[in-house]
Chain A
Amino acid sequence: MHFLKLVFKNIFRHKLRSLLTLFGLVVAILAFGLLHTVVNAWYAGSDMASAQRLIARNAVSLVFPLPIYYRDRIRTVDGVTAVSVSNWFGGIYKDMAPANFFAQFGVDHENFFDLYPEFRTNPEELLAFKKDRRGAMVGRHLADQHGFKVGDVIPVKGTIYPGNWEFVVRGVYEPRDDTTITRQLYFHWDYLNEEIRRKYPRRAEQVGVFIIQIADGSRAAEVSRAVDREFANSLAETLTETEKAFQLSFIAQTETIVMAIRIVSFVVIVIIFAVVANTMAMTARERLAEYATLKALGFGPAFVGMLIVGESLAITLLGGALGILATFPAAAGFKAAMGSLFPVFRVAPETVAMQAACALAVGLLAGLLPSIRAARVRIVDGLRHIG
C-alpha cells in the first residue's frame, strides 16, 4: 500500500519531467506499433495466400508468359484438381494518381472464383459475369472506394495491351474476413485474348500464370516438382511454387525496405530507453537522501531498489498503454491517408504484444541501474546528500 503510494506519488513530483518522458514513451510505442503494422501490411497478401494453391510461372521471369495449352497438360498431373489462369493487365483507371491505382487481372471466368473461396460471390452475379464477355467482378473494397455498381462501365487505358478497354461490372465479391484483399478487378482472359489475337497475333494464346488447385496441401512441393518436370526442356519451362511463396517472392524485392523499417522501429525503442534511463538516473540521484533515510529506518536495499524499478515500470507501462491505445486510431488515419496502397492495414495482436513487451523491457532496464545504485548507497553518504 505505502509502497505503491510512494511509487505513484513519486512519479508526479516532477510533473513536467514525467509528462515529457511519458509523451516520449507514447510517441515511441505508437511509432513502433505503426511501423510494425506497415510491415505486416506488406506481408498481408502472402498471409491470405492459400496452401492449397500453386502458381506456375515462366521459369525465366514473371514478365515472360506461358502458352495457354499448358493448362490441359497441367490438369493431367497427379494431385491437381483444377487449373485456372491469371494475367496481369496493368491498365490505368482515370489517371496515374496512386489513389486511382488498382490491379486488373484477366482470369479464367469459368473456374477462377471456384479456386478462391475467400472471395464470396453472389451466384446470380457470378452467372451474369460468366455470360458477359466484357463482364468484370470487382472487390468490395474497390467498389466502395470508387462507387462501382453492377452495370457500371469501367474505362481502363491499357499499357501492356494498348488501347481503351471497357469492363462492365457484373458483380461485387465480398471478403471472407478482414485478411482478404478485395481491391482487384477480374475480367475474362478470353476477352483479352480475342482482342490481342486481332491486334497483335504473335502475343495471343499466352497467360501470365496458371493457378493450380491441389487436393492435398501437404503435397505442394511434390506436385510443384511434377508440374515443372512436365515442361522441362521445353521452350518455356515453368517454375511452380505455392501461392504464398509466389507472393513472398514479390516482397523479397522490397525486403531491404522492410528490414530498414524494422530496424528503425527498434532504434526508436533504444532511444526512448536512453531517455527513460536518464530520467530515472536523475530521479534516483535526487532522492538519495530519502533512500538513505528509508534504509536507516530499517528498510532493505531491495525495497529501495524496487521503489525505483516500480516507478520506472509505472511510467513506461502507462506510456506503453497510451501508446498502444493511440495506435488504433493512428493506424486507421494512416490507412485512410494511404488509400488503397495497403489493402489490409490493421494492428495485429502480435504487434500489441510486442509494444507491451518493449514498454516492459524499457521500464525494467531503465530502472535497473539507478535502482542498484540507490540500493547500494551507504546510508551515511546518502544522508549527506541533503540540502
Chain B
Amino acid sequence: MVSISRLAKSYRRGDQSVPVLFDISLEIPEGDFLALMGPSGSGKSTLLNLIAGIDKPDSGTLLVDGEDITRLSEADLADWRAAHVGFIFQFYNLMPVLDAFENVELPLLLTSLSRRERRERVEMALSLVGLSDRMDHHPNELSGGQQQRVAIARALIADPAIIVADEPTGDLDRKSAGEILALLRRLNEEMGKTIVMVTHDWHAVESARRVVHLEKGELVDAPAPHAAGSD
C-alpha cells in the first residue's frame, strides 16, 4: 500500500539546514496498523506528515498504491489527500464554530455528494463513534474523548484508505484513550483501514499490529533502553 524508499527530510532554520529524517525505507501493507514510536524530536510527526502528503521530502520516493505522491503538485496533492487520507490530530483540530455534524460533514463538501447523501453518511459515521446524540454540540460542549471521536468520524467520512493519527490519545485520560484505541482497532479490523499512528503510549502500541521505532531520524530495530515511550 505505502512504499517508502530512501526518504530524507531536513528543515531550514535560518541559513543552516537541520536534518530530521535520514534515508528512511519502510513498507506499510494494506490493512496494517502501524505504531510509530520514538523519543521526542526523533522525527515521528515529520515522517507521518510525509506519508499523509502534507509535507514534502527532500529526496526519496513515497509510493501510495503505486503513485509517487512526492511528484504531485500542491493542488493535486490536496485532491489526493481529500480522497485517500483521514487525519486524526492530538488536539482534535475541529472547527470551533461548527457543531459535530458540520465538522464531520466538512470533507464531504469537497465531493459531489448531495445534501441528503451527506446527511446519511454523517449520521452513520457519528453513530459509529457513538455520538448520535451529540450531533448539534459544538466542540467546546464536548469532552476531549468525545471531540476525538468526532475527529475520527471526520477522518473516515470520505472513506479514505489510510488514516494517519498523530498522538491521538496524547491529550486524553486513560479511559477515553482506551475508547479511542478500541475505535481505531475497529476501523482497522472491521473496515480494513490502513492506520499509521504516532504514539508515546505503550497501551496504544498494544492495539497496533506492528511497531517501528524512530531515533534521531533513523528507523531502528529495537528501542534503546529508556529512550522510547518512557515519558
Contact = CB atoms under 8 A, between A and B. Distances in A.
B107 interface: yes
16 contacts: A6-B97, A13-B96, A13-B97, A293-B89, A293-B93, A295-B78, A296-B54, A296-B81, A296-B87, A297-B110, A298-B78, A298-B107, A379-B49, A380-B54, A383-B89, A386-B91
A162 interface: no
A383 B87 CA distance: 12
Q: Which 5 A-B pairs have the closest CB atoms?
A: A298-B82, A9-B97, A379-B54, A293-B93, A380-B55
Interface string A287-326: 0011001111111110000000000000000000000000
A298 B81 contact: yes
Contacts of B97: 5-6, 9-10, 13
A314 to B, nearest CB: 13
Interface stretch (B63-71, B98-106, B203-211): B98-106
A297 B49 contact: no
A293 B82 CA distance: 12
Interface residues of A, number: 23
Nearest to A298: B82
B107 A5 contact: no
A2 B102 contact: yes
User: Could you say which interface size class chain B belongs to?
Assistant: 20 to 34
B141 interface: no
A297 B87 contact: yes
B204 to A, nearest CB: 20
B95 A6 contact: yes
A294 B74 CA distance: 14
Contacts of B54: 295-296, 379-380, 383
B78 A299 contact: yes
Main secondary structure of the interface of A (DSSP, over half): helix
B52 interface: yes
B109 interface: yes
Main secondary structure of the interface of B (DSSP, over half): helix
B89 A297 contact: no
Nearest to B138: A9
Interface string A268-301: 0000000000000000000001100111111111
Interface string A364-387: 000000000000001110010011
B26 to A, nearest CB: 19
A300 B75 contact: yes
Interface in B110-141: 110
Contacts of B27: none
A386 to B, nearest CB: 5
A380 B11 CA distance: 11
Nearest to A11: B97
Contact of B79 (A6, A298, A380, A387): A298
Nearest to B46: A380
Interface centre among A296, A298, A383, A387 (most CB of B within 10 A): A298
B91 A290 contact: no
Contacts of A299: 78, 110
Contacts of B96: 13, 290
B89 A2 contact: no
Given A2-B98, A2-B109, A13-B97, A297 B81 contact: yes
Contacts of A9: 97-98
Given A295-B78, A300-B78, A383-B93, 19 more contacts: A2-B106, A5-B97, A10-B97, A13-B96, A290-B93, A294-B106, A295-B54, A296-B81, A297-B81, A297-B87, A297-B110, A298-B81, A298-B82, A299-B78, A300-B75, A301-B74, A379-B55, A380-B46, A380-B49
A5 B98 contact: yes
Contacts of B74: 301
Contacts of A301: 74
Contacts of A293: 87, 89, 93, 95
B129 to A, nearest CB: 17
A301 B78 CA distance: 10
B102 A5 contact: yes
Contacts of A297: 81-82, 87, 106-107, 110, 154
Interface in B41-55: 46, 49, 52, 54-55
B93 to A, nearest CB: 4
B178 to A, nearest CB: 23
Contacts of B81: 296-298
A387 B98 CA distance: 19
